[in-house]
Amino acid sequence: MSSDQERLKLHKMAALAMAEVLDTQLHLPGVETEKYSLADHDTLCVKGHVAMHGPQFTGDIFLEIPVPFVRSVAQQIFGFENPADVQDADLKDVVGELSNMIGGRVAAELLAEGLTCTLVPPDKSIVTRVKHEAKDSAELSQTYWLCDGNLISLTVQKKLITS
């Protein structure tokens, strides 16, 4: 299979996972978009990183959501009356859980292709959004989503292990 076909398959897996999580978990419509600017990369985000390890491949999932949007989501989830009551740990918990859900859905799609893996619990941080680059001949899909006017980025990377 060509590199372009692999990237397209990875993109479809990521898009399906993201759409399901936004719709079923947050009950928010998310729309994939190509409309973003370089200024969007200077946005302070909560980042979740889930690593995937399997006998045939390794991979990474990076989810980056703007802090103000995560704050409003966390406020709803935890029932805080005041946005100021939402702590950084709450923000990280929300994005960590969403990253896990997306990782689980991507892993299920990979399993349907015969690729098994385990997911490493998410690493969570508050950082400036980054544009990820493919490493070491890995396939990479970086997608952007508009959700309630907020730009969310999802990157999925997969590298086959060759013997």
Which domains, and CATH codes, for the chain? 3-35+42-160 (3.40.1550.10)
* pTM listed for this prediction: 0.91
**The predicted structure's pLDDT at residue 86:** 94
Question: What is the band of 1 on the pLDDT scale with cuts at 50, 70, 90?
Answer: low
Percent of the chain whose pLDDT exceeds 70: 94
Residue 33's CB is within 10 A of a number of other CB atoms, namely: 13
Distance CA 53, CA 146 (A): 30
Determine the Cα–Cα distance for residues 101 and 17; give it in Å rounded to an integer. Answer: 8
Task: Give me the pLDDT at residue 126, please.
Answer: 96
Token couple for 140 = 């990479």
Write the CB contacts of 138 (distance below 8 Å, at least 6 apart in sequence): 59, 157, 158, 159
Model confidence at 40, in pLDDT bands (50, 70, 90)?
low
Please answer whether residues 71 and 86 qualify as being in contact, where contact means their C-beta atoms are separated by less than 8 angstroms.
yes
The tens digit of pLDDT for each residue in 92-141 reads: 999 999 999 999 999 999 999 899 999 999 999 999 987 777 777 788 88
Class of residue 31 by CB neighbours under 10 A (exposed 0-12, middle 13-18, buried 19+): exposed
Three-state DSSP at 57 gives strand
Residue 52, pLDDT score: 96
